[in-house]
Amino acid sequence: MTASRAALLFPAGGGDPQIANVIYLSNFENLSGSNDVSIIGANMGYGGSAAQSNTQAKFGSFSAHFNAGTDRLSGTLSSGLGAGDFAVEFWFFVTAIGADQAFWAMGASSSESGRIQTGALADGSMYYYNASALRITTAANIFTLNVWNFCQLLRTSGVVQLGLNGVQVGSNFSDSANYSSADQYIGHSNYPGAGNATVGYIDEMRVTKAARSFNLPTAAFPTS
């Protein structure tokens, strides 16, 4: 293993060598009114019947709960993902499948322009979507219901890859698009009325404007 790869997987002293490039980090532990208070980046507002929950949590005591329909967390970050490397990482706990679900998206509200999204399809496959099309899809029933699964959406040197529990799933997709919108949606697509919310829970989300490697965390994301 190279020194640079080791630093991505096992940062010295438990810190994150890419912390300066993190534009969003939340463990969904802190609440102010109807807003999730993030560790890094803008706070996200709960919409629909989405809410903080202590029923399930990967780390800590709380997660964000969504129950289909228009449930979501949404807000505007300091910047979009841009045209370079990025990493979107989070834990999800889906309790039912049978309809398409969006786990995370960025893009202007109700617009296909610059839209980027990942989630699960009705057959239990996972996907990466951009520019009005599915770009990566996995085998059906690829994740287990009612357990925590770790999702990574990575772009490195113009190649997008999707990861599940530390391993790449699906094919590579060449993508050099400039994602300029800073509007973020958690547990739903960027179409607030679409009714394609996650059915279950999301915990420990991190968005980084830098390359990361596939891995399976054994603790909460570092905050420094």
* H/E stretch holding 19: none
Among 76, 68, 66, 62, CA closest to 46 = 66
Of the chain, the end-to-end C-alpha distance in Å amounts to: 24
Alpha-carbon distance of 67 to 82, in angstroms, equals 31
What domains can you pick out in the chain, each with its CATH number?
A: 65-81+96-199 (2.60.120.200)
Q: CA 17, 30, 147, 197 torsion: positive or negative?
A: negative
Q: Report pLDDT for 4.
A: 37
Contact between 60 and 220 under an 8 Å Cβ cutoff? The reply is yes
- Tens of pLDDT, residue by residue over 42-82, are 999 999 999 999 999 999 999 999 998 999 999 999 999 99
- Tens of pLDDT, residue by residue over 10-26, are 333 479 999 999 999 99
Token pair of 100 as six digits: 């398409």
